[in-house]
Structure 1
Amino acid sequence: MPSAHARHETPMERADRNFTELLQELRVTQTGVQILFAFLLTLAFTQRFAELDDFARATYVTTLVFALSATALFTAPAALHRVLFQRGAKRLIVVVSSRLAAAGLVMLALSFTGALLLVVDVVLGRAAGIVAGSGAFLLCLALWGVLPRVLRGRVGSRHR
């Protein structure tokens, strides 16, 4: 029995809608990661950067790599679409792009974690930086991982 919210769309229309929705999600996340990436790129050229110890430098480089990875993962769906455009591969593009976006969110969470760890480490000290970074990671995990799965379980149980 179809749900009251069932859409009357063809598989191609569904794929088009899903890709459009995914692109909207990527616009939100991509802006944030690009701002973070730009901020990180400028840090190496500040006067205080020379004062960082090995731990802070390693945190910086690792965070920069995570931010670059997130940026690449979030922009990959556009490149994928461009290469496969008008080849009847919309559903494949949606599935692969969704996985790329999920991996991008992991990299973004690690970027946020590292950035907060680095800044708080410099401002308040190593212990506070580790606590802040851990808190950032747990917040992203809770909001981007746990909450959607809890809600998916609730929505799924209503449609059974």
Structure 2
Amino acid sequence: MARVRHVAVAVAALAVAGCTTAVAGSPVAIGSAAEDRKLVTDYFAELNDAGKEGPTTQRDFLRRTQHPDFSDRLCDLGELTLRIEPAMSTFRTDFNWAPENAGKPPRGLVYVLGVSVSIRRDGASIAEQIGSQRVVVLDGKAYGFTPCPTR
């Protein structure tokens, strides 16, 4: 009886093996939601740290972290700095979002979350806004889209 069971298991394993299909290419692991969440949290912490150092440092940070597909869409913040506080409890994917006039979503995994933005000049707060911001995780790095102040 045990021999029959072993043969049945072997036959079942061969049957399943015969149903597999090879897929061309190399598998690429993607980060977990927890890893992406940390990347996004770190993105905002670094943005705020850069803002503490002044407009030039923050502009540099925003230029380096602008999504590579949209590196030509930087806004000039002039002498303004931003302090952005993310509401991580609102962190979620946004598969269908695309930047204005882009036609398609950016490469990577797009996340959206609520944020509180403090706009500063010479260290003094001149405006506060609450809204949504997108951050894209692409190849293990968080990228943003430089916000453009409305005048």
When normalised by structure 1's length, the TM-score is 0.28
Larger radius of gyration: 2
The structure with the largest helix share of the pair is: 1
The structure with the largest strand share of the pair is: 2
When normalised by structure 2's length, the TM-score is 0.30
